Amino acid sequence: MSGRAGPAYTLAEIAERVGGELVGNGDVVINRVATLVSAGAGDLSFVANAKYRSQLSSTKACALIVGVRESELTSLPRIISSNPYACYAKAASLLNPMESISPGIHPTAVVGEGAHVAASASIGPQAVLGRDVEIGDGVVIGAGCYVGDQVSIGAATRLYPRVVIYHACQIGQRVIVHSGAVIGADGFGLANEQGRWLKIPQIGRVLIGDDVEIGANTTIDRGALDDTVIEEGVKLDNQIQIAHNVHIGAHTAMAGCVGVAGSTRIGRYCTVAGSAMIIGHLEIADRVNISVGTLVTKSISEPGTYTSSIPCLPHRDWLRNAAQLHHLNELAERVKQLEQKNSEGKPS
């Protein structure tokens, strides 16, 4: 639990800002959010999963956010919401606002010729801005970031330390890019000639929409010819690889270690769980949910949940199943022969 001092609000003030029905003493003062187990005086906790209901009776939180089904399981002051997890997210943001910035350009930063930096922006130590960059109002560029020539960054976007953005890429408003992310590196474009690889120049850009979040050490390659596009509201976890010319639709979310190969187009409101892999040149429809560890090798045209991963087994059982897999073709052929023999033996 964070020890950082933040603003304090009454429960009634929080309910007014995050929504939901207030039950009980709205004057109780809230300083922090915490889990049911670790909460204490001044803490607001929540129940968004039924398996934690049993902890309601022992929590020392002074107030709660709960769903309708949990509302009668506690006598503590509470906010009742049809979506308690979203309600908690809003409360946590209220109690833990972004650190305020000090506008200005650090003396050790390097600013290229023709760059335009808004007066309200903050450029950190040893950051490098290339020629003709456009930095909008309230942008924060952390220590050691590199922003290439002709990059534009929209208002209220924040780059944490050591982010790299290659030339000509465009970043929208209110974007968050975490440390180590690389936006606009060359895609894996190669042609083979007599056993030797020839590099294909990657001349597209990366276009990032508004309200996108990009996790630490995630990489988004620039397009080979057309642009790589990340639409508004997309959320990318840490250590994700997005290849050249990929297009990700608005409000899609991807968990850590996902890989998306080149020229794949992913729809809006999709979710891709951790370590899923999507091969290139596919079309994924809107509102598709791809399960953890799934390998997607064909386009998906209908919304829904898609899974290809095999659940964990004891090693001995896995070996037995793997041995049987080697005989699937043989078994299928035997079944086919038996069916044909059975069909021939039936009276006409």
DSSP state, 186? P
Rounded distance, CA 233 to CA 244, Å? 20
The dihedrals phi and psi of 14, each to the nearest 5 degrees, come to: -65, -45
Query: Which structure tokens are listed for 112?
Result: 């290229």
**Catalytic one among 178, 244, 247, 251?**
244
Tokens standing for residue 224: 């080979």
* Catalytic site includes residue 326: no
Give the whole-angstrom CA distance, residue 270 versus residue 289.
Answer: 6
Sheet strand arrangement including 259-260: 110-111, 128-129, 146-147, 164-165, 182-185, 219-221, 241-242, 259-260, 277-278, 295-296
Instruction: Sort strands 158-159 and 110-111 into parallel, antiparallel or unpaired.
Output: unpaired
Distance spanning both ends of the chain, measured CA to CA: 77
For the annotated catalytic residues, the residue numbers are 244
